[in-house]
């Protein structure tokens, strides 16, 4: 943890008890005492002691915070009363962070007695787990150093001491040995803030909502999001230039209209101004001709505006569709690179919203909104220029009102941003439920839960409605305010204009109509600016969510210089492998296993023992948190994804059929495969016969919009898919779980042929199918508890034997051998 965040009162208490700050090797904050009541505390590790510092319990039973948790969010440390317990490190061992129902406990054995040291919530799970690992490393190093020192003392008289740089008799010079202090200093983590950089914003200290994407919502520069989105429009700059030209021409023609309709029509033609006719070379008295020319000019202007609008629509359609395509391609492409853990922690409906809806919302603003910001701004400036030239005194009144109108939009912008965020979350909940109900329709109907799901949908839909209503309410408030201000402005201008026409005779009726026309020209752009804040907020909100996907860093990454497996043999080694889906909750613990090339390994264990997790690690769906996995002596982290996927194939118990033909589904692993290869793979998987009974054989459409398949049929197509990929390592995870006994025997015969020359790892629910495996391991509680051949494990009379006996009895009841 950071030194700056350690309370001075705690450091003072430690110093009074003989623990200096420079002696601290590791430290972690905690938020619960041993009774699991909220209380602030710290655990501190030195080379001599383990210290627990705790404050008195909080009066409140629940702690909460608004927004995102800040690392320095807790205050009042200096005013608390602290208690201290110190344990001798030599007498302390087996420090553990043990998960409970509502929290986790930190326990240790002191003089052979187990003590509760403190408790902590999930907020400090990662930090406390790091503390425990550091304790274990330091304890091991201290014990190892003591053994080395004892051994050195015994051999000291026998081994002559060499001078520095002296030859040791082997043609080399002895390097100075690393001292105990140097080795221990490498283990020190207190004050080294690498992890803090990964978890907390360096500017404000806020915890990142998503550690895979180092973006702080508080410090995020929304202008940078804006500029990133603009990058998607770069390839279409010529079309955008044409679009802007259309906007400028339309705005220019619209600005001419009030002058033609006011000053020219009323003060020049209808007022029969002879000087006006001379300016255009029209004979005296030909006002009807002049009127026809003005009407024709106004008509041509309108027709031109319509034509330009059509061209503008074509440009906009081409740009929008292209940019939306590019954005969706970016999101979908990056989603494909992300690790399985990313999808485990997110709802499908939420991801679909980001791919399908957010890109449309972003481009809507950039195509219709952004150009209009410039055009509307230009319209306002030009209109004000004309108004100044007509009557500057009346224009000043308009200039006084405009800042108030703009201020309303600026003040309401934060509220609008928040409201669009609420709408997205409500929309995500609705989409997720619809997706769940469509996917799990059979389960819903089987348990008669249609009414319950409808009620749940109504709640989510009501939240979406409330979110939409809050946005509409804010928009109506802004529109109403703008409209009210403009109505007051219009009435005021008319009253002053009537006074200037009838009383002071300073202006004519045409000038008055022209002036009011330009106020009307202002109303559209200023109304646009009232909406643009809403529009911008919705667009940037969507862009932020889109970049959350694009910026997410996959946990499983390819090495910078990946290596290829040349002439793979298929040998697999696991060395001290540990893994857990959650911090401090290991699923696999310190596994050591060697699988010989070309052999078949059977993995046995109770449900939840970690069998599937193990094969997921071998196929690198996840990376081990400790240890390493080797294929032919090469760490799988160093292999290219292409090489790994080409040589490792898995038939999972979770079979997925894509929408398409049977042949397309089988050839998914090898799109270049011929029709004959597909048929051969199907025959080996015992799938050819039922495929040929389909209406269109291998061209029959299956998946979500095609013919429905049984569980066994899906599994056999999945096996055929794996066979066609022709891997060197084949993983069968409950490959025959969804087939009947007769089909299973057919598949087992195919597998017997298939495994020749391949390394095969098989997890099976029926242990009798693993009799022919070269080697078997039993996994229990994340560890390998038994290993050997089928015969050896039966003779051992352990877990494997018990599982075999249970299955024999169950099959005997069904009349199956």
pLDDT for 669-721, tens place per residue?
888 889 999 999 898 888 898 999 998 899 998 876 456 787 778 888 888 88
> Do 229 and 542 meet the contact criterion of CB atoms below 8 Å apart?
no
Instruction: Average the pLDDT over 617-632 and give the result.
Output: 90
CA–CA gap between residue 640 and residue 651 (Å, rounded): 21
The pLDDT value recorded for residue 812 is 65
Looking at the predicted structure, is the pLDDT value of residue 6 above 90? no
Looking at the predicted structure, is the pLDDT value of residue 133 above 60? yes
User: In angstroms, what CA-CA distances link 313 with 253, 309, 319, 398, 452?
Assistant: 18, 6, 10, 33, 46
Residue 417 or 320, more confident: 320
CA–CA gap between residue 688 and residue 681 (Å, rounded): 9
Looking at the predicted structure, is the pLDDT value of residue 789 above 80? yes
Most confident listed range (366-370, 456-460, 540-544, 770-774):
456-460
Looking at the predicted structure, is the pLDDT value of residue 752 above 80? no
How would DSSP label each residue in 38-59?
EEEEEEEE-SSEEEEEEEPPPS
Looking at the predicted structure, is the pLDDT value of residue 472 above 80? yes
High-pLDDT (> 90) share of the chain, %: 12
Where residue 148 falls among pLDDT bands split at 50, 70, 90?
Answer: low
CA–CA gap between residue 1 and residue 72 (Å, rounded): 11
The pLDDT value recorded for residue 675 is 92
Where residue 181 falls among pLDDT bands split at 50, 70, 90?
Answer: low
> Do 41 and 56 meet the contact criterion of CB atoms below 8 Å apart?
no
CA angle 211-434-447, nearest 5°? 110
User: b/e per residue, 478-511, with b = 16+ CB within 10 A?
Assistant: beebbeebbeebeeebeebbeebeeeeeebbbbb
Instruction: Average the pLDDT over 454-466 and give the result.
Output: 89
Looking at the predicted structure, is the pLDDT value of residue 424 above 70? yes
The pLDDT value recorded for residue 215 is 60
> Do 627 and 576 meet the contact criterion of CB atoms below 8 Å apart?
yes
Residue 750 or 647, more confident: 647
Instruction: Average the pLDDT over 573-582 and give the result.
Output: 88
Most confident listed range (51-65, 212-226, 377-391):
377-391
The pLDDT value recorded for residue 276 is 66
Most confident listed range (341-345, 571-575, 794-798):
571-575
Torsion, Cα of 761, 764, 768, 770 (10° steps): 0
The pLDDT value recorded for residue 519 is 78
The pLDDT value recorded for residue 62 is 55
Residue 328 or 51, more confident: 51
> Do 265 and 294 meet the contact criterion of CB atoms below 8 Å apart?
yes
Looking at the predicted structure, is the pLDDT value of residue 650 above 70? yes
Looking at the predicted structure, is the pLDDT value of residue 745 above 80? no
The pLDDT value recorded for residue 191 is 55
Run of H or E including 681: helix 675-684
The pLDDT value recorded for residue 106 is 93
β-bridge pairing 759-763 and 600-604: parallel
The pLDDT value recorded for residue 559 is 87
Looking at the predicted structure, is the pLDDT value of residue 70 above 50? no
Where residue 162 falls among pLDDT bands split at 50, 70, 90?
Answer: very low
What pTM does this model have?
0.64
Q: Is the dihedral of CA 420, 426, 432, 437 positive or negative?
A: negative
CA–CA gap between residue 812 and residue 788 (Å, rounded): 26
Choose the weakest-confidence range: 27-31, 245-249, 498-502, 623-627: 498-502
Choose the weakest-confidence range: 355-359, 605-609, 627-631: 355-359
Most confident listed range (90-104, 164-178, 192-206, 431-445):
90-104
Looking at the predicted structure, is the pLDDT value of residue 234 above 90? no
Torsion, Cα of 58, 63, 66, 69 (10° steps): 90
Residue 562 or 377, more confident: 562
Residue 118, phi then psi, degrees to nearest 5: -170, 180
> Do 215 and 203 meet the contact criterion of CB atoms below 8 Å apart?
no
What's the mean pLDDT when you consider all of the chain? 78
Where residue 71 falls among pLDDT bands split at 50, 70, 90?
Answer: very low
Most confident listed range (58-72, 73-87, 99-113):
99-113
Q: Which domains are delineated in the chain?
A: 3-148+182-186 (2.30.29.30), 226-551 (1.20.1560.10), 572-814 (3.40.50.300)
Instruction: Average the pLDDT over 641-651 and give the result.
Output: 88
Q: Is the dihedral of CA 693, 699, 705, 710 positive or negative?
A: positive
Looking at the predicted structure, is the pLDDT value of residue 737 above 70? no
The pLDDT value recorded for residue 678 is 92
Most confident listed range (152-161, 273-282, 309-318, 337-346):
309-318
CA–CA gap between residue 362 and residue 369 (Å, rounded): 10
Instruction: Average the pLDDT over 503-515 and give the result.
Output: 77
């Amino acid at each position: 943890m950071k030194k700056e965040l350690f309370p001075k009162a705690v450091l003072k208490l430690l110093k009074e008890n003989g623990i200096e700050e420079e002696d601290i090797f590791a430290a972690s904050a905690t938020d619960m005492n041993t009774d699991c009541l909220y209380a602030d505390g710290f655990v501190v590790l030195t080379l001599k002691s383990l210290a627990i510092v705790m404050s008195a319990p909080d009066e409140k039973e629940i702690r909460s915070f608004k927004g995102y948790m800040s690392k320095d969010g807790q205050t009042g440390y200096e005013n608390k009363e602290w208690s201290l317990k110190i344990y001798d490190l030599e007498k302390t061992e087996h420090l553990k962070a043990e998960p409970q129902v509502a929290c986790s406990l930190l326990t240790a054995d002191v003089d052979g007695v187990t003590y509760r040291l403190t408790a902590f919530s999930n907020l400090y799970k990662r930090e406390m787990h790091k503390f425990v690992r550091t304790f274990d490393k330091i304890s091991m190093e201290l014990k190892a150093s003591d053994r080395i020192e004892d051994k050195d003392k015994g051999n000291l008289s026998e081994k002559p001491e060499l001078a520095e740089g002296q030859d040791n008799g082997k043609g080399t010079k002895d390097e100075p040995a690393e001292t105990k202090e140097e080795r221990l200093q490498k283990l020190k983590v207190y004050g080294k803030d690498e992890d803090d950089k990964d978890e907390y914003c360096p500017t404000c200290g806020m915890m990142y909502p998503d550690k895979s994407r180092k973006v702080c919502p508080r410090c995020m520069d929304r202008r940078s999001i804006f500029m990133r989105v603009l990058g998607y429009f770069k390839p279409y700059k010529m079309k955008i230039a044409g679009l802007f030209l259309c906007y400028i021409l339309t705005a220019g023609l619209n600005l001419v209209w009030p002058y033609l309709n006011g000053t020219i029509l009323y003060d020049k033609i209808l007022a029969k101004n002879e000087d006006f006719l001379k300016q255009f070379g029209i004979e005296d008295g030909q006002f009807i001709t002049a009127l026809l020319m003005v009407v024709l000019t106004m008509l041509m202007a309108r027709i031109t505006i319509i034509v330009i609008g059509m061209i503008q629509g074509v440009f906009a359609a081409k740009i929008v569709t292209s940019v939306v395509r590019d954005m969706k391609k970016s999101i979908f492409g990056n989603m494909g690179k992300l690790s399985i853990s990313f999808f485990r922690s997110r709802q499908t409906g939420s991801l679909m919203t980001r791919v399908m809806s957010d890109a449309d919302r972003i481009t809507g603003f950039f195509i219709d909104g952004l150009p209009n910001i410039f055009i509307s701004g230009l319209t306002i400036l030009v209109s004000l220029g004309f108004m100044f030239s007509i009557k500057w005194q009346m224009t000043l009144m308009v200039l006084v009102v405009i800042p108030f109108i703009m201020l309303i939009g600026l003040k309401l912008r934060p509220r609008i941003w928040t409201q669009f965020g609420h709408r997205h979350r409500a929309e995500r909940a609705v989409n997720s439920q619809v997706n769940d109900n469509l996917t799990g329709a059979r389960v819903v109907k089987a348990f008669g839960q249609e009414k319950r799901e409808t009620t749940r949908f109504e709640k989510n839909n009501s939240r979406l409605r409330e979110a939409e209503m809050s946005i509409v309410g804010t928009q109506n408030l802004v529109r109403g305010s703008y409209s009210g201000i403009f109505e007051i402005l219009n009435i005021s201008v008319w009253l002053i204009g009537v006074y200037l026409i009838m009383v002071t005779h300073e202006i004519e009726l045409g000038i008055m109509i022209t002036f009011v026309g330009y106020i009307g020209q202002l109303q559209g752009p200023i109304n646009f600016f009232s909406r643009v804040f809403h529009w911008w907020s919705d667009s940037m909100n969507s862009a932020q969510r889109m970049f959350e996907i694009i910026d997410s860093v996959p946990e499983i990454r390819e090495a910078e210089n990946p290596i290829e497996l040349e002439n793979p043999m298929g040998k697999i080694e696991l060395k001290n492998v540990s893994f857990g889906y959650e911090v401090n909750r290991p699923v696999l613990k310190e596994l050591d296993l060697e699988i010989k090339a070309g052999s078949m390994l059977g993995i046995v264990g109770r449900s939840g023992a970690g069998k599937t997790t193990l094969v997921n690690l071998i196929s690198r769906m996840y990376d081990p948190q400790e240890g390493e996995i080797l294929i032919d002596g090469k760490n799988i982290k160093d292999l290219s994804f292409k090489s790994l996927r080409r040589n490792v194939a898995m038939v999972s118990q979770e079979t997925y059929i894509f929408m398409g033909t049977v042949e397309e589904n089988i050839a998914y692993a090898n799109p270049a495969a011929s029709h004959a290869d597909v048929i051969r793979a199907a025959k080996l998987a015992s799938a050819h016969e039922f495929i040929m009974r389909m209406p269109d054989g291998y061209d029959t459409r299956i998946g979500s919009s095609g013919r429905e398949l049984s569980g066994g049929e899906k599994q056999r197509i999945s096996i055929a898919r794996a066979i066609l990929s022709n891997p060197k390592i084949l993983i069968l995870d409950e490959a025959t779980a969804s087939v009947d006994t007769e089909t299973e025997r057919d598949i087992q015969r195919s597998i017997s042929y298939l495994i020749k020359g391949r390394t095969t790892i098989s997890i099976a629910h029926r242990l009798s199918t693993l009799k022919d495996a070269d080697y078997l391991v039993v996994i229990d509680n994340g560890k390998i508890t038994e290993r050997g051949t089928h015969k050896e494990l039966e003779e051992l009379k352990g877990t494997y034997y018990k599982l075999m006996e249970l299955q024999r009895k169950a099959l005997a009841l069904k009349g199956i051998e």
